[in-house]
Amino acid sequence: MNDFQLEFDTLSNRVSGLSSKCLLDCLFSGLRVDIQKEMALLHPSSISQAFTLAKWVESKLANLWVLIRPPAQAAVPVRHFPPAATPAAAFPPATTPPLPCAALPIHRLSPAEMQAHRAKGLCFNYEEQFHRGHRYKPKFFLLFSSLLASQPVDYFHLSTDAYAGSVSPWTLRLQVLILGHFYSVLVDSESSHNIMQPRVASFLQLKVWPIPSFSVTVDNDATLSCMGLCSNVAISLQGHSFSLPFYLLPIQVADLVLGVQWLQTLGPFLSNFTVPSMHFYHNGALVTLQGNSDTQPTLAFYHQLTCLLFTNSIASIHAIAITTPTAIPTIYFSASK
Q: What is the rounded distance in angstroms from the CA atom of residue 310 to the CA atom of residue 306?
A: 6
CA distance 253 to 190: 14
**pLDDT for residue 235:** 92
Q: Which of 121-125, 134-138, 176-180, 273-277 has the highest mean pLDDT?
A: 176-180
Q: What is the pTM of this model?
A: 0.47
Same domain, 226 and 293: yes
pLDDT(161) > 80: no
Average pLDDT, rounded, for the chain: 75
The answer on 295 and 164 residing in a single domain is yes
Residues 176, 48 share a domain = no
DSSP-assigned beta bridge partners for residue 215 = 225
Residue 247 lies in a domain: yes
Note whether 117 and 170 are same-domain residues.
no
Q: Does 220 map to a domain?
A: yes
Percent of the chain at pLDDT above 90? Answer: 9
Q: How many residues does the chain have?
A: 337
Pick left, alpha or beta for residue 191 (phi over 0 → left; psi -120 to 50 → alpha; otherwise beta).
beta
Do both 112 and 207 map to the same domain? Answer: no
Candidate from 15-29, 84-98, 109-123, 312-326 with smallest mean pLDDT = 84-98
User: Of residues 128 and 74, which shows the higher confidence score?
Assistant: 128
Answer yes or no: is 325 within a domain: no
pLDDT tens digits, 103-126:
555 666 777 777 777 777 777 766
Task: Taking residues 179-208, report their average pLDDT.
Answer: 89
Q: Is the distance from CB of 280 to CB of 273 less than 8 angstroms?
A: no
The answer to whether residue 71 is domain-embedded is no
138 or 309, which is more confident: 309
> Could you give the percent of the chain with pLDDT greater than 70?
68
The pLDDT value recorded for residue 146 is 45
Mean pLDDT over residues 265-287, rounded? 84
82, exposed or middle or buried, with CB in 10 Å at 0-12, 13-18, 19+?
exposed
Evaluate the CA torsion angle 37, 39, 40, 41 in order and state its sign.
positive
pLDDT at 156: 75
CATH code of the domain containing 231: 2.40.70.10
Q: Which of 183, 312, 204, 208 is nearest to 258 (CA)?
A: 183
pLDDT in tens, 63-96: 877 666 665 555 555 555 556 555 555 555 555 5
Task: Tell me 189's DSSP state.
Answer: T
Same domain, 167 and 287: yes
In a domain, 274, yes or no: yes
Kindly state whether residue 88 falls inside one of the protein's structural domains: no
Q: pLDDT band at 149, cuts 50/70/90?
A: very low
Tell me the average pLDDT across 19-28. 81
Q: Which domain holds residue 117?
A: 107-130+139-151
- Provide the pLDDT for residue 217: 66
Check whether residue 10 and residue 113 sit in a common domain. no
Q: Give residue 151's pLDDT band: very low, low, confident or very high (50, 70, 90).
A: very low
Does pLDDT of 135 surpass 90? Answer: no
* Number of domains composing the chain: 3
Assess if residue 327 is contained within a domain. Answer: no
Would residue 85 count as lying in a domain?
no
Distance CA 232, CA 246 (A): 8
Same domain for 144 and 219? no
Alpha-carbon gap, residue 52 to 56, rounded angstroms: 6
53, 56, 34: which is closest to 42 by C-alpha? 53
Identify whether the C-beta of residue 247 lies closer than 8 Å to the C-beta of residue 194: yes
Specify the long-range contacts of residues 163-167, CB closer than 8 Å, at least 24 apart.
163/218, 163/219, 163/220, 163/222, 163/224, 163/251, 163/252, 163/253, 164/218, 164/220, 164/252, 164/253, 165/252, 165/253, 165/254, 167/295
Residues 279, 174 within the same domain: yes
Is residue 196 located within the same domain as residue 239? yes
**Do both 174 and 284 map to the same domain?**
yes
pLDDT digit string (tens) for 220-263? 566 778 888 998 899 999 899 999 999 998 887 788 989 888 88
More confident residue, 132 or 4: 4
Same domain, 117 and 172: no
Which pLDDT belongs to residue 176?
92
Structure confidence at residue 204 as a pLDDT band (50, 70, 90): very high
Q: Residue 181: its pLDDT value, please?
A: 92
